[in-house]
Amino acid sequence: MVAALLIVSIAMWGPYHAFGVFFKPVLTEFGWTRALTSGAFSFAQIVNGLLVIVMGTLNDRFGPRMVVVLCGCLIGVGYLLMSQVHALWQLYLFYGVIIGAGMGGAFVPQVSTIARWFVKRRSLMTGIVAAGTGVSLLVGPIIATQLISIYEWRISYIIMGSSAWLLIMLTALFLKRDPAQVGQQPYGEIDGGGPGPGLRVKSFALKEAVDTRQFWLFNGLSFCYGFCLFTMIVHAVPYATDLGISETSAAYIMMTIGVASIIGKVVLGGAGDRIGNKQAIIISFTLWVLAYFWLLMATEEWVLYLFAVGFGIAYGGNSTSHSPLVARLFGLSSHGLIMGVTGLGVTIGGAVGPFIAGYIFDTTDSYQLTFFLCALIALVGIIFTSLMKLTRVELTD
């Protein structure tokens, strides 16, 4: 199950994380502003945020196979249509609406399914599955760079989109909602259906969760996470090439973020089982603050590589900790739905950040203000996370 969900994650996120590589070829052909071009990615994030609620609900009810197949079809069709873009409205329709809708099933079904399959080592297993996004950063940009250098960007979208669709469809056949469907119990669960003798964990419906302070704090930290992450995912390659770095080297910088994020997901994911996911998120946001301030001094290529290491580790630790923390706060009965709703914070932040970064560049011809703003947003994320109080596990009668 872990292996299947990992492959699905890589296939879905690989082409999506390559958006920054396609950024300048599209700009060169059409002459649009950076704000308008990155706005398509921002719009995809908004659609993603709305659809992830639906996909989380469907996953709770029907399991991941149906959700992954549906989203895989949307992703495949979206990238095939991207090869036919000739107007701005088409970019927003094909990438923003169709691909954005498909990406609604690119995270929540995977981590919510893992939460149902594991009690012990839940954070570590979530980290391994979430490492798929890191692997996609490792391979997606470099594959896109090589394809564009050989075939140009339109054919490259056809190749990446059709490959992702085929891989998603085949792997979806192995997915199951929970271990009960194959006559097993979640790993680490004590016989009798609880996490341990004499303990029970309260499960919240969405309506109950919304009435808690923790829910809104979690949405706040999710916004900060999405803002800081996707601003860099979209604008890292354009920023590096603006400094005179080659497109291939810029893709390697993105690849470094991917490698570092895998380390962060496994190391901080495993640490989350011991020190708690709240602490892991605080550590991750702190690394982002330091990384973005470091980026303000970037004038040479080695500085960007060092930034990529710190940024990637923080990204990995942060993303891995969300699903186990939601399970810890609100239980599993509506885990997918609650993850979907709180994921709105991520997608709104991921929509606002890249657009603001593009607008700032269009008006100042620099990303410096953007990086300073991201450091401040990461600091706010630390505050939101620190204010969150974990509810205690209740004793049974």
CB 169 within 8 Å of CB 72: yes
Q: What is the pLDDT at residue 309?
A: 92
Q: Please, what's the largest Cα pairwise distance for the chain?
A: 69
Q: What is the pLDDT at residue 202?
A: 61
Q: What is the pLDDT at residue 391?
A: 60
Measuring CA to CA, which residue among 380, 381, 360 is closest to residue 371? 360
Beta bridge partners of residue 187, listed in sequence order: 118
**CATH homologous superfamily of 2-178+202-391:** MFS general substrate transporter like domains (1.20.1250.20)
What stretches of 83-152 show up as alpha helix (H) in DSSP? Answer: 88-91, 100-102, 108-117, 122-151
DSSP 8-state assignment for residue 92: I
Q: What is the pLDDT at residue 178?
A: 80
**Which residues of the chain are modeled with pLDDT < 50?**
191-200, 392-397
Q: Where are the beta strands (DSSP E) in 199-323?
A: 199-200
